[in-house]
Amino acid sequence: MYPSHRPRRLRRNASLRRLVSETSVEPRHLVLPMFVREGASEPVPIATMPGVVQHTRDSLRKAAVEAVEAGVGGLMLFGVPEQHDAMGSGAVDPDGILNVALRDLSAEVGDSTVLMADLCLDEFTDHGHCGVLDEDGVVDNDRTLQIYGEMAVVQAQSGAHVVAPSGMMDGQVGVIRESLDATGFTDTSIMAYSAKYASALYGPFREAVNSQLQGDRKTYQQDPGNGREALRELELDLAEGADMVMVKPAMSYLDVLRDVASVADVPVAAYQISGEYSMIEAAVANGWLDRQRTVLETLTSIRRAGADIVLTYWAVQAAKWLRDERGGRV
């Protein structure tokens, strides 16, 4: 009888589908990006990212505990300072908001989750670029590296398990590794933003960190049309000592993620960024998409493309959905 091959046999019920599923998403795969705002007396909603806030120090600690209880794999922290300057000096100040908040979370959750820190100057500079500028207004790669090295040490001192350089400066991983090792932080890991594209989808994030950006970042972030270039960046970061690597954005660059994952010999992360989040939330608000099904499908697609780790603003909610689906087993 035709057809003799019936793949639908393995889809007949939920138990069979679960048994033969090739890709899983578990809470431990998820990292929650979090924003903490200096001087805030209550959480500040981010209009372009419904459901996401700039935390106070107190609400940050509470949200971190909730995330740990949900089983998420890690937290990625971004600071939102009150003051900005040309050098982004708040980034290296031990009493700057990012470093103070790292100490808060280290004291609150300890080693119960992985505490990660964004290592970049864009939140701290008055021009919004990821490095310091030269006399022509161009980001000075090598002067910026010196500051990145200082940032890494302060973040490690403040309790970060992982520092995550996101500025796409040439040589950033090597300088950071050297700085960490020279100051005794040989166990602090580096998650390199190896393939970070100059995407239009970062718009909501700029509100989230109160970005002062003037111009664009096309001279240091990758061109969206380039795929092979990502593999060159990957190779350089691995040679310089990256412990983990990242592709950003995630959903628009699944092909790049697949290529990176196929050759990387370290864990691979992907960042489901603000614009990807906001597009789905807007469609959900209009009744066009179901939030849970859509979120879990997108996370599955990112995992299927090769990500071991997914940074997503839905990390806690997704972890709870996954836990409920599995009868409370995380």
3-state helix/strand/coil string of 255-315: HHHHHHHHHCCCCEEEECCHHHHHHHHHHHHCCCCCHHHHHHHHHHHHHHCCCCEEECCCH
Residue of higher predicted confidence among 204 and 258: 258
By the 8 A CB rule, do 244 and 162 touch? yes
Residue 188 CB partners (closer than 8 Å, separation 6+): 152, 156, 160, 161, 162, 163, 180
Question: pLDDT tens across 174-197, in order?
Answer: 999 999 999 999 999 999 999 999
* Stretch 302-319: mean pLDDT: 98
Helix runs in 5-164, H state only: 14-20, 57-70, 97-109, 141-157
Is residue 98 over pLDDT 60?
yes
The residue type found at 21 is S
Q: Which of 30, 31, 36, 32 is nearest to 208 (CA)?
A: 36
Is residue 27 over pLDDT 90?
yes
* Stretch 51-70: mean pLDDT: 97
What is the model's pLDDT at position 327?
Answer: 66
Residue 259 CB partners (closer than 8 Å, separation 6+): 227, 230, 231
How many residues can be counted in the chain? 330
How far apart (Å, rounded) are the C-alpha atoms in residues 31 and 54? 17
Full DSSP string of 189-204: EEEEEEEEB--GGGHH
Is residue 68 over pLDDT 90?
yes
Banded model confidence at residue 67, pLDDT cuts 50, 70, 90: very high
Question: pLDDT tens across 267-294, in order?
Answer: 999 999 999 999 999 999 999 999 999 9
> For tokens 């609400």, what's the residue?
59
By the 8 A CB rule, do 156 and 203 touch? no
How far apart (Å, rounded) are the C-alpha atoms in residues 80 and 60? 13
What is the model's pLDDT at position 4?
Answer: 85
Q: Does 218 qualify as catalytic in the annotation?
A: no
What is the model's pLDDT at position 210?
Answer: 73
* Stretch 126-144: mean pLDDT: 93
Q: What is the DSSP letter of 168?
A: -
The residue type found at 216 is D
* Stretch 97-106: mean pLDDT: 98
The catalytic position among 62, 218, 248, 320 is 248
Task: Give the global pTM.
Answer: 0.94
What integer best gives the mean pLDDT of the chain? 94
Is residue 214 over pLDDT 90?
no
What is the model's pLDDT at position 209?
Answer: 78
How far apart (Å, rounded) are the C-alpha atoms in residues 219 and 54? 29
What is the model's pLDDT at position 212?
Answer: 75
HSE value, Cβ hemisphere, 13 Å, CA-based, for 73: 15
Q: Compute the CA torsion angle 220, 221, 227, 228 (nearest 10 deg).
A: 30
The catalytic position among 62, 196, 218, 320 is 196
How far apart (Å, rounded) are the C-alpha atoms in residues 81 and 76? 16
Lowest mean pLDDT among 13-22, 211-220, 318-327: 211-220
Q: Which of 236, 208, 34 is nearest to 117 (CA)?
A: 34
What is the model's pLDDT at position 330?
Answer: 42
